[in-house]
Structures are given as C-alpha cells and as structure tokens.
Structure 1
Amino acid sequence: MAETRDHGGGIDAAIARWGGTRADWLDLSTGINPVPYPIPDFAASDWTALPDRAAEAALVAAARRFWNVPEGAMVLPAPGASALIAALPILAPGRSVHIPGPTYNEHAAAFQAHGIAIGDATADTHVTVHPNNPDGRLFAPEGDPALRIIDESFCDVMPEASEVARCARPGTVVLKSFGKFWGLAGLRLGFAIGHPDTLAPLAARMGPWAVSGPALRVGAIAISDHDWAGRTRARLVRDAARLDGLMAQVGAEVVGGTTLFRLYDVDAAAWHDRLGRARILSRVFPYSDRWLRLGLPHPDAFDRLAAALTDGPA
C-alpha cells in the first residue's frame, strides 16, 4: 500500500474524528481561493470529443500572456500540478536533489520514488517552492544546479515575484497551478514552463490529450480574464488582513503565509481540535507543534470562524 502523506483537505477523516456531514464543514485546511472563478457554459463537444489542438493552443496562448512567458520557452499543460510533480524526476540529471524544507512534501516523495536521494546544495537538481508552503518564504537561488525547479503554485497572488523569466534558457522549470488562485482545484489543471529542450521528456511522458476538454475551455477563459485576477488579488489582501486580525484577538501570532493561506504560532493541536469540534478544518504539521495554517474563509464565513475562535484556547 502506498504511503499516505499529510495534506490539506480530508473532510472524510475529519468527519470520522469529529462527526457531522460534509455539508456541515468549513474546510480551511487548503490554500484554495474560496471565491472561485465563475464556470462558463460548456459545449457538448467539450465532454464528447477528444480535445483538439486549437483548444490547447488557446489555453497555451492565454497562459503565455498571463505569465509573461519569455520567447523561446514552452508552456506544457497537464492534468494538475501534482501530475507534473510526480513526473519531474525524469528530468533529473543526477542521483540527488536539494529541496529546502520544510515544504510541500510531494516533491521529495516524487524524487525518492524514482530512487533519487535528498541531498544538500551540491546536488545537480534543486527544487524550491516559491512562495513556500507553509511559511510563504520566497525563492532565494543558491548554487548553479543543472536543473532548477521552481514551484510557483501560490505565486499568482504576487505576480511581480515570478521567476518565469529564467525559463528562457535550458535548465529551469517553473510550475504553475490553476486550482489555487482560480479556486477550481477539482478541474485538475497545471502547467510546466521551461525551455523545449528541458521539457521534452516531460511532454513525451504527458502524451496526447493530457488535459480534458472542459479544463481547456475553463482554463483559457479564466486565465485570459485579467480584470478578475486584479480584483481577486485585492480582495485576497483584504481578507488575509481580516483573518490575521481575528487570530490576533485570540493571541495568535502570524509567522508566515501568503494571501491564500496564513501560518500562525499557537498551540496547534489544541486549536486544531477546538476548530474541528466546531466543524472547521485547519492544517497542522507533523514537524511542528506550534504551526497552524488556515486558508482564507469565504467572505460570508468569517462570522462563523470568529464565533469558533471566541471559544477556542488562547
């Protein structure tokens, strides 16, 4: 049986521990935008036909514009960033990888599954999550590895920090997640951006029709909507400050995060349990008894969270 790694989500497990039904729960354990992009109408062919090249080309063109992809770099769509993470080790030129932690645990798991050891900064491959999950720290390049992977799954809240310009030359891959910023994680859409020579083995691994017709349609429309993106970034800034204010009232100290998730210094187990009994799922980490991560609530759910925090441990 495959190892189960800790992640956000997992309402079924929360129900088993604290009770209730799925409809009772407020899931703040992920960093997914709680106000998703409105889903457009679908054509019947989105569901019945194999995705065509024109639909994929429209998505790639929208992605190039949105992320300012440099000339000569390639945009490779995939069925979620997780699918790309699992396959990225096939690009590694050596037998060790440097992954500064703590960070998103699927990167290390993917390389180890391919027999590649976790090493120090002398490794031929470096993986950095930028901004990092869960503490929000930003990419700081070290060394000169043959392959540098930069996971920008949460970087769309701060586009000025993107490292996509590095992809003009071989040896750098930037990952992008659609589900986080646009709030449609169930659609399963992600992107790898890099030089064609670097991404060629990954593109071959993905094969034809990797992205579904509905995902191609929604992705192309949503990524082209720059006005929505601007309004969303502004709202996330306001809502993150509102969440920090609620937590400060009960003695929690913000120690990191992005405007999609916030990281607090508290008695993590006590707060996780208290919120769980109020049917609010938070995120704790096996390597820290002080870190509690909360995704942003929907604007309509702040009062519910405030009520639960009032009775929580300080």
Structure 2
Amino acid sequence: MSEPTTHATSNLVYIFIDYSNVTHEGSRELNIANDSFNVDLNRLVITVRNGRELGRVFIAGSTPQTAPTPYKDELSWQRAKDLGFDVKTFQRNASNKEKGVDVYLACNMMEIILTKTPGILVLVTGDSDFSTPINKAKEKKWGVEIWSWPKGMAKDFKSLPHVSLKDHHKSFAYVTKAYSTKSKYALKIGGDIIKSWRWKNEPIMEYFFTRNLLCQFYWIDATTAHLYFDKKLQLKEASDWWLSKDHPNMFIEELGRDIKNDRMPRETQDKKFAEIVTELPQQTANEPLVDQLFNGGM
C-alpha cells in the first residue's frame, strides 16, 4: 500500500467518496452488471481508514432525473447517514449527466483543508476534477491518498500516493444476483430469526469477507436467501459454519448446482424503497464504526 505524503501533523483521516464513480467504475473493473454490483459504504470506509483515527466522512452521489432511484443506492445512503457520515445526493441533468457531485466534494475538501489541523486527506475516486483542492492540501502540508479503480484512474493522480480498490474489493464489494445453478454452488438459508438481524445483509457479508471471498447472494424473500460459491468445498464450509451458529429455527440447505423443487428468485425487486426504509433499525452516530460492522447476526 502506498504511503501518504509525510507532512501531516495530525493523525486524523478525512475521507471523501464519489459514490457514483466507485460503483460505476467498480462494476466495469470487475465486469459485473451495474444493477448487481454493490458497495457497502461502512466497509469501504473501514478499508480506506486502515485502522487510523477518523475525522469525518463525506459521500456524494447522484439520482436519475426521471427514473426511480435504485433501491440499493437509497439503502446504501440511508445506512451511511445512520452511521454519522455526511451524505449528499444530486439529481442528474436531462442528459443523465451528474451535476454537483464533484463541486460538493471539492468545496468540503477545501473547507477541511483550510480550517483543520493538517491530517490525511483520502479521496476515493478516479476522477481528475479535484486538482485544485489536492494542490491546496499539499501546499498546506496535508497528507494525500487516492483510492481508485485502476481502469478509471486519471493520469493526473498517478504521481500521487494511490491505492487500487481492486486489490481490496473483497472487503467492501458484493453482488446481489440470482445466478444460474449450473454456474454456482448455492446454499439456502432462511427463518424468522433473520427479521431480528440489525442489518439483514451483514451476517452474510461478514461470512464472505472474513474468508476473502467475493460476497455473492440473493434474497428470494424477506427471510430466505441463496448464497453462491464457486467451489463445492466453499459450499460445505459455509454450510458447516451456519449450522454451528446458534440461530433458533434457522434452516440451512445445501442446494449444490442443481436446485430442484425450489423457486428461483427473480431479478426484479417488487418492494418499494419507502417500505424497506421503515424496517431499517436506528443506529447512533456515536457508536464506533467497528462495533457497527456487525451486530446481531453472530
């Protein structure tokens, strides 16, 4: 991992994330359809924070002008807000181009640079539209890091300390897609206990991430999910792990590559975002990020 510039006098890390750039370039980098590719913002922050003391986190993204905002994005932003991050979204213009995202991040970068003791500025994007605040940060003796996907990294950033998101993507990215059972081994989990999980995806993501596997799963309904694996041994290990947990009345079933007599999930989501948000638990911004990484599913 590249080291930040060494002028910083504070250990605080200030993180600025261009959500649209991270998700779009990530799906392109990993060759995963954009509507199936997801980024867990809490885990992304933990990854780029890299054990250092956190100052603030700013996240900006965009929404369609005419079509509904994808519910996966709404949920991601809602959770980030509940974690105490500064989140701002902007409606795209009539040509479906982003407007305001870069300006919002750049303005907040300048404010932090000019009003805080020099620390470490972490910019998570490959977009080159941040040369002014980056140059100002270097002038004011801030440490600077760029985290981006290799294919989407601007040439101007290559002279700065930078880290490839691709090298760390298994710690924060996940795929929600109903795979063909001819291409993946599937593990079916379900039960009413899932309703009590603080964040429904967390126990699943925790299993994949701690084993350095790309997290791949799909919710068939509110309490039933398929988890996907590339190897039979991975399926067996996952089955044994879930069976070892004290989850009352949870059912675990190895489906292998041949799901018979089991309803395959559809690629569409019928549930409206407004209905999903009402089910989200409330989290306090004062809770440590690591404590919030996983709570209630183990």
| TM-score band, normalised by shorter chain | under 0.3
Provide TM-score, normalisation by structure 2: 0.27
Provide TM-score, normalisation by structure 1: 0.26
Is the helix fraction higher in 1 or 2? 1
Structure with the larger RCO, 1 or 2 (CA within 8 Å, 6+ apart): 1
Is the strand fraction higher in 1 or 2? 2
